[in-house]
Structure 1
Amino acid sequence: MKEALRAAIEDRGYTTLTPVQQAVLKPEHTGCDLLVSAQTGSGKTLGFGIAISETILEDGEQFNGASAPLALVIAPTRELALQVKRELSWLYANAKAVVASCVGGMDMRDERRALARGAHIVVATPGRLRDHIMRGSIDLTSIRAVVLDEADEMLDLGFREDLEFILGEAPDERQTLLFSATVPKSIMSLAASYQKDAVRVVAKSENAQHADIEYRAMLVAEHDTENAVINTLRFHEAPNAIVFANTRAMVNRLTTRLSNRGFQVVALSGELSQSERTHALQAMRDGRARVCVATDVAARGIDLPNLDLVVHAELPSSHETLLHRSGRTGRAGRKGVSALVVTKRSRKKAERILGWAKLKAEWGNAPSAEAVKARDEDRMLADPDWDAQIEETERATIEKLQEKFSAEQIAAAYLRMYRMTRSAPEDLADVEARPERKEFGKSVWFSISVGRDAGAEPRRLLPMLCKAGGLSREDVGAIRVKFDQSYVQILEASAKKFLKNIGVDMTLEEGAVVTQLAEPPAFETSGGGRKGPAGPGKNRKPGGKPRQDKFERKGKSGSYEKRSGSGPKSGKPKPRYDTTDAGGSQADASPKRPKHDAGQDHKARKGGKPKGPLPPAGKPNSKKNKARALAAGGKAAPKRNKPKGPKRTKS
């Protein structure tokens, strides 16, 4: 390590290096391209700052005059880029380095003037850096090292094309370092294209991912999401906390709600200007605000020194996002808490995300109002003011209080004043944590002679079985309701008691007959995809729905008469259709509709009265038709008009 950097690190108070810093400082890695995976908050900025020092300083300890930049550091967001600039500025202060930034949202004219004056290291966001390259305001010909920080996030945010353009403009002979919390296929592809014989470095801390972060999954009712956020903030009373939401609308809603409840809160979302975002983060750093409500994009890479709590008001979309969100806390050896607000509807999603991230969370309920009040009491009694020495300027007032009020009154007044400075917690609905599913055990199956046709449902059968058979809910397993009967599973140990209680006649309420089965029923998949006993039910087509009774209208009165699906149809019979043979003689009426004859009259086809004898098959009044008619001893059919109908238009 360069002595200039070592002195800066010691002046900063660092005594030991983190695993990622130790990994990149190995002698065999000097000057090599590196693909480094390390979690956020593991000291990556200091790590790559040290790693490129040998390349950009070469044999010296200090830089010469600033001209074209020697190193590029590219970060996904404005906040992270400005944070990296601050870190590298003090790290390279003794080396006389000039560090400039090219960040979206800042005045581009100021950046161009700074680049024109010269810089040794440039920290930039991808889009703004590409703009400077295309405008010719930055010279990349002297670049010796390029660092992509949070490379996976830059790809997720859609910066791949910009990164490829930038790396393509940089000199081929350079050191390229990719730092990423995760290394998916997209990162491996980028490394293969733009690095040469890259060394894969995995920080040891990655084996125990987020070891300094305690994950808690809090089950809440659907309508209690915001109340759970309030109670969680009140329970922990962290110096700094971030509440994550998925949309700007939710950020605005939570910010307003928390502000109305007395929290010192700021918001971070994409709709804010760079100046507003900077002021919000500064308010968090100097203590004017303690809660920041943010979207994922707005909070990328921000580093707050006393951030002890992360609350996920809405679940992240992926496990990578969960890791990046939670990585805002538990940094540089500090402990942190990452609390997920989980509703019944989103529990499976939460379990999947935690599983993919290989994290274990403590499942339970959100802090209740009683838990918050108890925690407040503990904090109040642990306040160091109780043991502080009484000052002489305070003694006169204390004696007045003692003379005028009793100890009980003073304590009550203090308690009320203490609580007035804090927002009251919310009452939450009780939500039971889902117990682990256990095997039901040995069981006996019974059939019941009622099914869906009699209105049977599991929620109706269960209390009926428990009441008649003296059972508890734990004694009853699966209940399968079919069209004309139902099946129920009862623990073998409780089956004798059940049979004894229902009596010899084996009946339940409303005469439902119970039959013990020798073996479990065979549930097969029918055509509709539902599972049920083999074979169709009563009055049911195989794989279809139960046959419904049909009704037909009777007369003009609007009344309906029921007719059976299998018996003769009731109601007014349909008219018979008259037919005429080719020779013009009337044929016997037939109840069946005849097949369409090309020569049949238009009204006759509708069941109306024919105008006259039908011509033989063929076109009306054609020569062939006349010949056929004369051969049969008759006359040719008179010319008839084409039946009128709707005009057809070409589509």
Structure 2
Amino acid sequence: MTFTNLPPLFGEALAERGYADATSVQAAVLASEAIGRDLIVSAQTGSGKTVAFGLSMANELQDTFGIPAEGPLALVIAPTRELALQVGRELEWLYAKVGARIATCVGGMDPSKERRSLRGGPHIVVGTPGRLRDHLERGALDLKSLRVAVLDEADEMLDMGFRDDLEEILDATPTERRTLLFSATMPKPIVALAKRYQRDALRISTAGDSRGHGDIAFQAVTVSPAEIEAAVVNLLRFHEAETAMLFCATRDNVRRLHSTLQERGFAVVALSGEHSQSERNQALQALRDKRARVCVATDVAARGIDLPSLSLVIHVEIPRDAETLQHRSGRTGRAGKKGTAVIMVPYPRRKRVEAMLRGAKIDAEWMNAPTPEAIRAQDRERLIAAMLEPVEFDDEDRALATLLMAQRSPEDIAAALARAHRAAMPQPEDLVENTPQARQAAQQERHRPGFEDTVWFSMDIGRRQNADARWILPLLCRRGHITRNEVGAIRIGGNETHFQIPRTIADKFAAAVVRTAQDESGEETVHIEASEGPRETARENRSGPPRTMAPGGRKHGPPGAGGRVAGKGGKPGGQPGGQHRKGRKP
């Protein structure tokens, strides 16, 4: 489809950026029946929406180009800082030849500079709801002259709680304005918003009958709950994507998985609500510069991020619903490029994922996590392909090759090169085979000699207090006067931790923890007592290997199950000597 109904000079800008044909959403908003009308557009992430609404509103603005505007003539509202900045950059090149001025207003930036930019007479203002509302209430943003309002990813803005901000902003605009509403999904709140602020809107849908993106291959990987992180490592190694994004549910889980992958040797960055705008910018720049290839993020932190090289998305934790699955997966497979979205599925939750996929009309391929053998085979193919690519060698390269061949045979040189290549890659993980017999055998192997008969004890700290086996184990040895080899499985829950002690020394251990219940200053320490074991033990034993921490701190279980913490020092929050609760010490 070609671009039609374009004002002069826009065709040149598109051609310079390599736009030869219009995408479906771009052609739809430029069709004759859409010109000048309010629009409700359902289009997938990565379908060219920014260029679509940029061209759609050009007719309303073209008589003002080249001269400063008395007030903004077009307003684009986006849910996140990254998306707003990205939209601003797209509109800058699209409108560069016609002399339109564009201002961005987003949280985390200097508001005084934004106010100066608004006073400079921009034709188009792009911003996030909160910052735009702030400028509006302070009198820096005057919307009386507005001709077009665009709500980009409107469903996300409502999900993020921006309804009041949007209503205040739209209420301050002229009633005769044109309103373009773009949303990947159309839940009831979006329909209500459109009914209130639009007039005779034309409904455009280019998403098709399926919610799944046509350029995304969906895979569902079944895995033991105890081996999710190991399976993630193997997936990253198997695909070796130019850029990969891993989704976790909480910032704590992002922190833990980020730390784990760093330790394994991956070039990885993290994005979550605990990071400042400066840290977010540095992380995104590292991904764009290829200094990092993996990003671990929460749903909210990743909204609006556009990484053209992103080809792999891994849902480390199952999305809460089909819409979240769609938005997460939509980070890849953009602008006609192919992408892969992988859902990690613990054995007990397979039925839930199957139902979600049916509801989303996504046909996913069910498979096991890649094995080390499959990863090594992929490595060999990639290395051979890389070494056989056409390349030009300079004199220095050939001189070095001659020197090497004078001392080693070609076979030895090639073998050394292959070995160096493998040494630079994180090693794959050995996983439990996905069969009932193998899972049962692995469960039995977890019981070390001497731990056939054990007693459960508990302590009143857990994941919410950043409990970690690396400092829990020395604590138990110190308090109970035992050695590391006399501590069995450690299971970390939300607010409590359970662990096993051999029955032969249980009485001695119990007496010791009573004697050491207070430290030298008289402060109460972590409370330890005998227990019946974790409540979920029976359920976990039925559904697969339990989420445990083996002695020595080796992690078993997905992010959030009580693994590594991000900092150094091996104590809560990574701070040496950190307290776990106010007034109490380990």
Return the letter of the residue paired with 1:201: I
2:87 maps to 1:84: yes
Shift of 1:408: 3.9
Shift of 1:315: 1.0
2-side partners of 1:12 and 1:328: how far apart?
21
Which of 17, 28, 37 lines up with 2:22 in the alignment?
17
Task: Pick closer, same or farther for the CA change 1:124–1:418 going to 2, 3 Å.
Answer: same
- What secondary structure does 1:45 align onto? helix
- What secondary structure does 1:91 align onto? helix
Task: Pick closer, same or farther for the CA change 1:61–1:14 going to 2, 3 Å.
Answer: farther
Shift of 1:409: 2.7
Aligned-pair RMSD on alpha carbons? 1.7
Return the letter of the residue paired with 1:259: Q
Match of 1:361 in 2: 364
Tell which deviates more after alignment, 349-358 or 133-142. Answer: 349-358
Task: Pick closer, same or farther for the CA change 1:146–1:432 going to 2, 3 Å.
Answer: farther
Q: Taking structure 2 as the reference length, what is the TM-score of the superposition? A: 0.71
Match of 2:241 in 1: 238
Match of 1:416 in 2: 419
Q: Taking structure 1 as the reference length, what is the TM-score of the superposition? A: 0.64
Return the letter of the residue paired with 1:218: V
Work out whether residues 62 and 96 of structure 1, in 8 Å CA contact, stay in contact via their aligned partners in 2.
yes
Shift of 1:66: 3.1
Match of 1:311 in 2: 314
Which of 40, 44, 66 lines up with 1:39 in the alignment?
44
- What secondary structure does 2:337 align onto? coil
Shift of 1:64: 2.1
Shift of 1:346: 2.1
1-side partners of 2:64 and 2:19: how far apart?
20
Match of 2:33 in 1: 28
Q: Percent of pairs identical after alignment?
A: 55
Match of 2:381 in 1: 378
Task: Please show how residues 191-590 of structure 1 align to structure 2 within 5 Å.
Answer: 191-203=194-206, 209-385=212-388, 388=391, 391-432=394-435
Match of 1:54 in 2: 59
Work out whether residues 268 and 292 of structure 1, in 8 Å CA contact, stay in contact via their aligned partners in 2.
yes
Which of 144, 148, 160 lines up with 2:163 in the alignment?
160
Match of 1:7 in 2: 12
Residue by residue over 1:489-541, the C-alpha shift from the partner in whole angstroms, topping out at 9 and shown as x without a partner, is xxxxxxxxxxxxxxxxxxxxxxxxxxxxxxxxxxxxxxxxxxxxxxxxxxxxx
Return the letter of the residue paired with 1:275: S
Residue by residue over 1:551-606, the C-alpha shift from the partner in whole angstroms, topping out at 9 and shown as x without a partner, is xxxxxxxxxxxxxxxxxxxxxxxxxxxxxxxxxxxxxxxxxxxxxxxxxxxxxxxx
Match of 2:153 in 1: 150
Task: Pick closer, same or farther for the CA change 1:387–1:99 going to 2, 3 Å.
Answer: closer
Shift of 1:392: 3.6
1-side partners of 2:392 and 2:254: how far apart?
45
Work out whether residues 240 and 308 of structure 1, in 8 Å CA contact, stay in contact via their aligned partners in 2.
yes
Shift of 1:411: 3.1
Aligned residues: 432
Task: Please show how residues 615-634 of structure 1 align to structure 2 within 5 Å.
Answer: none
Task: Please show how residues 88-99 of structure 1 align to structure 2 within 5 Å.
Answer: 88-99=91-102
Residue by residue over 1:16-52, the C-alpha shift from the partner in whole angstroms, topping out at 9 and shown as x without a partner, is 0000000000111111000000000000011011111
Return the letter of the residue paired with 2:28: A
1-side partners of 2:387 and 2:97: how far apart?
42
Work out whether residues 211 and 326 of structure 2, in 8 Å CA contact, stay in contact via their aligned partners in 1.
no
2-side partners of 1:256 and 1:163: how far apart?
38
2-side partners of 1:73 and 1:365: how far apart?
44
Work out whether residues 210 and 362 of structure 2, in 8 Å CA contact, stay in contact via their aligned partners in 1.
no
Shift of 1:185: 1.3
Match of 1:127 in 2: 130
Shift of 1:349: 2.2
2-side partners of 1:270 and 1:108: how far apart?
21
Work out whether residues 219 and 365 of structure 1, in 8 Å CA contact, stay in contact via their aligned partners in 2.
yes
2:193 maps to 1:190: yes
Residue by residue over 1:603-623, the C-alpha shift from the partner in whole angstroms, topping out at 9 and shown as x without a partner, is xxxxxxxxxxxxxxxxxxxxx
2-side partners of 1:84 and 1:278: how far apart?
16
Return the letter of the residue paired with 2:42: S
Which one has more relative contact order, counting CA pairs under 8 Å at least 6 apart? 2
Work out whether residues 364 and 433 of structure 1, in 8 Å CA contact, stay in contact via their aligned partners in 2.
no
Residue by residue over 1:102-134, the C-alpha shift from the partner in whole angstroms, topping out at 9 and shown as x without a partner, is 111111111111111221101111111111111
1-side partners of 2:255 and 2:298: how far apart?
10
Residue by residue over 1:173-193, the C-alpha shift from the partner in whole angstroms, topping out at 9 and shown as x without a partner, is 100010000111111111111
Return the letter of the residue paired with 1:34: L
1-side partners of 2:64 and 2:75: how far apart?
19
Residue by residue over 1:434-479, the C-alpha shift from the partner in whole angstroms, topping out at 9 and shown as x without a partner, is 9xxxxxxxxxxxxxxxxxxxxxxxxxxxxxxxxxxxxxxxxxxxxx
Return the letter of the residue paired with 2:118: L
2-side partners of 1:173 and 1:359: how far apart?
41
1-side partners of 2:143 and 2:178: how far apart?
14
Residue by residue over 1:332-362, the C-alpha shift from the partner in whole angstroms, topping out at 9 and shown as x without a partner, is 1100000111111221221122122111100
- What secondary structure does 2:269 align onto? strand
2-side partners of 1:16 and 1:206: how far apart?
23
2-side partners of 1:225 and 1:26: how far apart?
48
2:73 maps to 1:70: yes
2:137 maps to 1:137: no
2-side partners of 1:37 and 1:104: how far apart?
27
Work out whether residues 211 and 360 of structure 2, in 8 Å CA contact, stay in contact via their aligned partners in 1.
no
1-side partners of 2:121 and 2:418: how far apart?
61
Match of 1:171 in 2: 174
Task: Pick closer, same or farther for the CA change 1:7–1:396 going to 2, 3 Å.
Answer: closer
2-side partners of 1:285 and 1:253: how far apart?
23
For the pair shown, the structure with the greater C-alpha radius of gyration is 1
- What secondary structure does 1:298 align onto? helix
Shift of 1:205: 5.2
1-side partners of 2:324 and 2:292: how far apart?
25
2-side partners of 1:67 and 1:385: how far apart?
61
- What secondary structure does 2:194 align onto? helix
- What secondary structure does 1:6 align onto? helix
Residue by residue over 1:366-423, the C-alpha shift from the partner in whole angstroms, topping out at 9 and shown as x without a partner, is 1111111110000011114565465443344333433332344333322211111111
Residue by residue over 1:225-269, the C-alpha shift from the partner in whole angstroms, topping out at 9 and shown as x without a partner, is 111111111111111111111100111111111111111111111
- What secondary structure does 1:42 align onto? coil
Match of 2:463 in 1: none
Gaps of 5+ in 1: 435-651
